[in-house]
Amino acid sequence: MSNKQKILIIEDEKTLLNAIAKKLEVENYQVQTALDGQEGLEKIEEDMPDLILLDILMPRVDGFGVLEKLNKNPKFSNIPVIIISNSGQPVEIERAMSLGVKDYLIKAEFDPQEVVIKVKNVLGKIENNNDKQSEKNTDAKNVLIIEDDQLLRSLCSKKLLMEGFNVDTAIDSQQGLDKIMKNKPDMILLDLVLPGMSGFEVLKIVKANPDKKIADIPVIILSNLGQESDIAKGKELGAVDYLIKATITTDEIVEKIKKILV
């Protein structure tokens, strides 16, 4: 019997599926493939994999359907899953994370080596470096992301780094405020529902700061709270924009930041 770790790729784009499979086989993984969710579920039943790479939009059973069925079955609920998707919408990411997904890959940024790194990371082969920041570019604008969702934080960080920004992150309101006061970033991307005080409170403290360099930092709110009263409150407290996670992609978030800073 083979001691190789087994990976199941459930993906309906054959070219992408074959490229991932070949790369993983070179890395000495045992790879199985399925072209839709139903076939994937059948293969999980036949030969339980160590990890699943899962597309979202597929025939018969989509990726969310696969995740829901895995979660309902104690035998399969602990199999780690990495999503492969065309969408980077925060609402999709959050739904996937709520169903136990370990990581997320965007097809538009497909890099076979990144797939290998993420697979090894999830399987415990290497340390998690998702939030590790590259060396700062002293000429670039500095963006602070205050967001407690690790995956969304990492996706936004990666996009901004690719566009030439320096990125720092905070996972709660107090850590965010400490970094604002110390580093005075050029832009703040701020979630509202955070551990500790709310994003509204953070925004209020920033805008009331006697140091004009802090008070004038542009703040974009990124939140699941989409009621008109929430949007109005954010604008009244001084946010330059209010983005709703359910209706925006990470590409659009970066474009909003670029329009303000570049």
CA distance 110 to 164: 19
Task: Give me the count of residues in the chain.
Answer: 262
152 and 50, same structural domain?
no
Residue 130 forms part of a structural domain:
no
Written as six digits, the tokens of 243 are 């983005």
Amino acid 137: pLDDT: 60
pLDDT digits (tens, 9 = 90+) for 83-126: 998 876 777 887 888 888 888 888 877 788 888 988 988 887 54
Confidence check: pLDDT of 132 > 50 = no
Q: Give the residue-averaged pLDDT of 210-226.
A: 94
Whether 205 and 116 share a structural domain: no
Q: Would you say the pTM of this structure is higher than 0.85?
A: no
**CATH number (domain holding residue 71):** 3.40.50.2300
Structure tokens at 92: 């999709």
* Residue at 216 is within a domain: yes
Supply the range of the domain harboring residue 38.
6-122
Same domain (yes/no): 195, 252: yes
What pLDDT, on a 0 to 100 scale, did the predictor assign at position 149?
84
pLDDT digits (tens, 9 = 90+) for 150-200: 778 888 888 888 888 999 999 999 999 999 999 999 999 999 999 999 999
Evaluate whether residue 233 is within a structural domain. yes
Residues 6 or more apart whose CB falls under 8 angstroms from that of 44 comprise 8, 52, 70, 76, 79
pLDDT of residue 163: 86
Residue 13 domain-assigned (yes or no) = yes
The per-residue pLDDT for 49 is 94
Query: Does 257 share its domain with 146?
Result: yes
Residue with tokens 């083979």: 2
Average pLDDT, the chain: 88
User: What CA–CA distance (Å, rounded) separates 117 from 5?
Assistant: 15
Contacts of 227 (CB under 8 A, 6+ apart): none
| Count of domains observed in the chain | 2
The DSSP output letter for 246 is G
Q: Is residue 159 part of a domain?
A: yes
If asked whether residues 171 and 108 sit together in one domain, one would say no
